[in-house]
Structure 1
Amino acid sequence: MVAQLDTPSINSTLSLPYSVQGLVQVFTSSHRNFFTSVMSQALRIAGQGTPVLIVQFLKGGIRQGKDKPIQMGQNLDWIRCDLPRCIDTPHLDETENQALQQLWQYTQTVVSEGKYSLVVLDELSLAINFGLIPEAEVLEFLTKRPPHVDIILSGPEMPKSLLDVADQITEIRRSHQP
């Protein structure tokens, strides 16, 4: 005879002792660097069926912008700022500043909608350090994002406040001198 276990029925509410929380990961380096490990992680996760967004705030040159994302497969959207050049200085003209602000506002909006499970914010530290995106807004964005969304921040000289909220910090260092 099989013993009957007192188990909750399918219709009863079962509360779990935990919930899945998205992580904040930081990839930083002392120099401006293309973080191939971050990009390969994003491609791998998108290939497994998870929606991913990559936002490159300071990369331009291809007149892309939020209205013309590169779609790599059905799960990866890649957006660059709608600029004729890459930003390497805090001095932007009004059109460039407006394009960057539109991209930042768009990023906040789509992340709050919960469409993406992983969002990569490339060179966000430089945008903050150049005074183009307020650090306080980034901290608020991280706090208010949907709980399931993983965020990857990349760039050199990551502000301490962002390091303090990170769940994981990866520092890329060169171990040899040229």
Structure 2
Amino acid sequence: MVAQLETSSVNSTLSLPYPVEGLVQVFTSTQRTFFTDVIAQSLRIAGQGTSVLVVQFLKGGIRQGQERPIQLGQNLDWIRCDLPRCIDTPHLDEAENQALQKLWQYTQQIVGEGKYSLVVLDELSLAVNFGLIPETEVLEFIAQRPSHVDIILTGTEMPKSILDVADQITEIRRSHRP
């Protein structure tokens, strides 16, 4: 479960005898059907007063780049790649690749500032597997994030190196087939 206590580094009034370390969670499945669970968890945590950022790397189509985040309540910011379409192939034109790289750079910067306590990186595994975001950069990002930040990574076929650094892995499987 994601840590829900805020540490003093994020303006908490709690006086804990120990720091609360952020977790790295992975949600994976052979089908792309787990975002509902992750967004529900994000909304619940944001509703409790914790700052949340949801980043969808491969979704586009609604002009929702980092300059125009959707704000759900006071504590949840939701951004997508500023593209006219959803990415479903590793073959991007130059403008699409620049938009994706801009979103990745923004994500690294804003998370490094410590503004958010929970960060959801949706379909990051697909961006890595498509070769659009280097796996080594993702691992470095996870290692260098502020210590209080919880990270949730989602996607199919999560790279083993990312699974190896995860504190929790949730594999969602179909248990009933009609």
Does the alignment reach a TM-score above 0.5? Answer: yes
Secondary structure of the 1:49 match is coil
Instruction: Tell me the residue number matched to 1:133.
Output: 133
- Retained in 1: the 8 A contact 2:22–2:147? yes
- Between 136-145 and 27-36, the greater mean CA deviation after superposition: 27-36
Runs of 4+ more than 3 Å apart: none
Change (3 A) 1:70 1:176: same
- Retained in 1: the 8 A contact 2:116–2:149? yes
Correspondence 1:106-117 to 2 at 5 A: 106-117=106-117
Q: Could you report, residue by residue, the CA deviation over 1:40-66 in whole angstroms, capped at 9, with x for unpaired residues?
A: 000001011110000000000101111
Instruction: Tell me the residue number matched to 1:170.
Output: 170
- Retained in 2: the 8 A contact 1:33–1:155? no
Q: Could you report, residue by residue, the CA deviation over 1:111-140 in whole angstroms, capped at 9, with x for unpaired residues?
A: 000000000000000000000000000000
- Retained in 2: the 8 A contact 1:61–1:85? yes
Asked if 1:56 corresponds to 2:56, the answer is yes
Correspondence 1:67-146 to 2 at 5 A: 67-146=67-146
Within 1, Cα distance between the matches of 2:98 and 2:162? 24
Correspondence 1:18-29 to 2 at 5 A: 18-29=18-29
Correspondence 1:146-165 to 2 at 5 A: 146-165=146-165
Instruction: Tell me the residue number matched to 1:45.
Output: 45
- Once the two structures are TM-superposed, the CA of residue 34 in structure 1 deviates from its matched residue by 4.1
Within 1, Cα distance between the matches of 2:31 and 2:157? 8
- Retained in 2: the 8 A contact 1:29–1:172? yes
- Between 96-105 and 28-37, the greater mean CA deviation after superposition: 28-37
Within 2, Cα distance between the matches of 1:151 and 1:174? 25
- TM (norm. structure 1) is 0.89
Work out which of the two has the higher radius of gyration on C-alpha atoms and give 1 or 2: 1
Identity of aligned residues (%): 80
Q: Extract unaligned runs of 5+ from structure 1.
A: 1-13
- Retained in 1: the 8 A contact 2:28–2:34? no
Instruction: State the superposition RMSD in angstroms.
Output: 1.4
- Retained in 2: the 8 A contact 1:89–1:130? yes
Letter in 2 for 1:81: C
